[in-house]
Structure 1
Amino acid sequence: MPRFAANLTMMYREHDFLDRFKAAADDGFHGVEYLFPYDYDAGALAARLADHGLVQALFNGPPGDWAKGERGLASLPGREDEFRRGIDTALGYAQTLGNDTIHVMAGLIGADDDRPQHRDVYLSNLAYAASQAAAHGKTIVIEPINPRDMPGYFLNRQHDAHAICREVGAPNLKVLFDLYHCQIVEGDLAVKLNTLIAGVGHVQIAGVPGRHEPDDGEVNYPYLLNLLDSLGYRGWVGCEYVPNGDTSAGLGWIREWLPKK
């Protein structure tokens, strides 16, 4: 059975952020993820996890200036020192929160930017991040993101992400396979899961095209979740979607997968 993590950045928005942990646990989730923990004290977040019997599945490394539109630093020339400081910060939070996996965002690239230079910086930064993470028993994941939701994002396709991981060659560098993004950019989800699963370190889901509940849209998630089971995937499945309305009321799609505690 898949292990589901509620994405507390997108789900349970009817509650204040720190109250979303209880709401997710009350609905039967055993894990949570979110974009960033850095506005909160790590100990306070760990206490919420412990109070509600939850596991921290994933969060993102520092992305640069999110409010000004930055979406990661890993491929940005000239920002290497800031990226390395961010990895140190993320690993400190992960040590306290207990998650094994950190997502590192690549960043945005302009149409006239030197893509090979960005790629070289990306490879170097990922090698550094993986090395630092390995010393703490952590895994780094990179995620292809569709250009409709995030125009200019450096990494868009699954095979490119897996090729980068192979080139870096670190066993704790893997790919975050977000089926929502992959369906928009490439499709052919089942074949890609079958061929790429060995390099997948985390999975996320959402309905396509609206990024709402997984049963709202064109993707057959029951089939794909069963496929993940049959392929032996034992990682988390992050529910990174924006509910159509009240989060709890929209969880009918997951009831067969997520028994109450």
Structure 2
Amino acid sequence: MKRRNFVQGSMLAGASLLTTGVLNATALTSCADPAGVAATAGDKPFNLNYGTHDGMFKSHAGDDFIEQIKFAYDKGFRAIEDNGMSGRPEDQQKKIGDTLAKLGMAMGVFVQPGLGNDSNMLANGKADQVEKFIASCKQAVEIAKRINSKLVTVVPGDFVRNLPIGVQTGNVIEAIKKGTAILEPHGVIMVLEPLSDNPDLFLRTPDQAYAICKAVGSPSCKILYDMYHVQRNQGNIIPTLDLVYDEIGYYQIGDNPGRKEPGTGEVNYKNIFKHIYNKGYRGVLGMEHGTAGAGKEGELALIKAYREADSFM
């Protein structure tokens, strides 16, 4: 399986949120601001902690991710996620981590390092795959230290068609146990992501990930509940969320169809965000989606969409 190039709390005991000392200027609407999201000195933080990603605000802030993070902060966002973090130079990782610390922002997930686009075939149980996985977990610990993160995305890989599903599940559980033995002493959590990208994927539904997490039995193994993928694979986002809630470590957002911001598809994110908030989750929700509109107007429309979806209080 080729890991897709994502467009991409902490846990409940993970990254801290800035809840005081922020400016609460309200958004100003003008003819020059058709989306109605401009603010004088910084917009108030959202009710939930949505995490932006590299490229999301480049039309306003330029190509420098650091400047994009600062722009996002001014618009009320208090977190980021970065699927490509493991591929960044170490000095850049450290600079991003330092910027987040200074702003009081949280770091969401980064994707498991050391695997690139290679197949991560934990379901086949082969020793070389397990060894590669363990090595990637060791790398993840070092990256997490530099960026003050506690969350790493893990995808077990492809379904193996010549092995019974129970055997494959056992192989994945045993491999993940070895990985959590590396992560747990450092407080780093792998979040297993069920995906909908192609029919070859081993891990496709939250209940499947739930069973694996229960079998592994480690605080360093949780579910990444990506609502875009849940909607594509099975729907029932809220009831399914409730069934597996005690093993969810992270959420990701994307409307369907199209994988853009809330309000561009069929998912009622305002209701979902209210439900997540009322259940007590205060970690990061990764904005792992594209932008429906182009340029600055598209970015402003995205911010407005989040203000609307977040207005459940």
Residue type matched to 2:111 in 1?
N
- Secondary structure, aligned partner of 1:79: helix
Structure 1 residue aligned with 2:306: 254
Deviation, 1:25, is: 2.1
**Shift, 1:20, TM fit:** 2.9
> C-alpha displacement at 1:258, in angstroms?
6.8
Percentage identity across paired residues of the two chains? 26
Q: How far off its partner does 1:72 sit?
A: 3.8
Matched, 1:170 2:218: yes
Secondary structure of 2:275's counterpart equals helix
Residue number among 57, 65, 71 corresponding to 2:108 in the alignment: 57
1:48-84 CA-to-partner distances (Å, cap 9, x unmatched) read 3245442212111126232xxx354544533222111
Q: Which residue of 2 aligns with 1:109?
A: 159
State the secondary structure of the residue aligned to 1:255.
Answer: helix
The correspondence for 1:216, drawn from 261, 264, 270, is: 264
Using the alignment, how far apart are the partners of 2:267 and 2:188 within structure 1?
A: 31
Partner Cα distance (1:85, 1:163) in 2: 25
Relative to structure 1, the CA distance from residue 71 to residue 47 in structure 2 (aligned partners, 3 Å threshold; closer, same or farther) is: farther
Aligned partner of residue 87 in structure 2, secondary structure:
coil
Match of 1:185? 233
Q: Secondary structure at the match of 2:109?
A: strand
1:2 corresponds to which of 27, 45, 48: 48
Task: Confirm whether residue 86 of structure 1 aligns to residue 86 of structure 2.
Answer: no
Give the structure 2 partner of residue 11 of structure 1.
Answer: 56
Runs of 5+ in structure 1 lacking a partner? none
Q: Partner of 1:230 in structure 2?
A: 278
Cα deviations across residues 227-247 of structure 1 (Å, max 9, x unaligned)?
Answer: 111112222211111111233
Shift of residue 114, structure 1, vs aligned partner:
6.1
Distance apart, 1:124 and its partner CA? 1.7
Which amino acid letter does the alignment assign opposite residue 107 of structure 2? Q
CA contact (8 A) 2:114 2:139 kept: no
Question: TM-score, normalization: structure 1?
Answer: 0.87
**Alignment partner for residue 180 of structure 2, among 103, 126, 130?**
130
Question: How many residues are matched?
Answer: 253
C-alpha distance in 2 between matches for 1:226 and 1:191: 14
Provide Cα deviations, 1:172-227, integer angstroms capped at 9, x if missing partner: 31111111100111111111122221111001111111101111111111001111
Q: Following the alignment from structure 1 to structure 2, what is the Cα–Cα distance between the partners of residues 71 and 210?
A: 26
Cα contact 1:202–1:237 (8 A) shared by 2:
yes
Offset at 1:257? 6.8
Indicate how the Cα distance of structure 1 residues 177 and 191 shifts in structure 2: closer, same or farther if over 3 A, else same.
Answer: same
1:47 aligns to 2:94 (yes or no) = no
Aligned 8 A contact 2:273 2:309 in 1: no
SS at match of 2:86: coil
Contact 1:57 1:101 in 2 (8 A): yes
Question: Is the CA contact (8 Å cut-off) linking 1:73 and 1:105 kept in structure 2?
Answer: no
Are the structure 2 counterparts of residues 258 and 83 from structure 1 closer, same or farther at C-alpha, using a change threshold of 3 Å? Answer: same
The residue aligned with 1:25 is: 73
Larger radius of gyration: 2
- 3-state DSSP class of the match of 1:107? coil
One-letter amino acid of the structure 2 residue matched with residue 16 of structure 1: D
> Could you tell me which amino acid in structure 2 is paired with residue 252 of structure 1?
K
Instruction: List aligned pairs for 1:141-180, cutoff 5 A.
Output: 141-146=191-196, 149-180=197-228
- Write the deviation string for residues 121-151 of structure 1: whole angstroms up to 9, x where unpaired: 32122112222211001222101101xx244
Q: CA RMSD in A?
A: 2.4
- TM-score by structure 2 length? 0.73
Q: Which residue of 1 aligns with 2:149?
A: 99
Q: What amino acid does structure 1 have at the position aligned with 2:108?
A: A
What amino acid is aligned across from residue 44 of structure 1 in structure 2? K
Within 2, Cα distance between the matches of 1:258 and 1:25?
Answer: 16
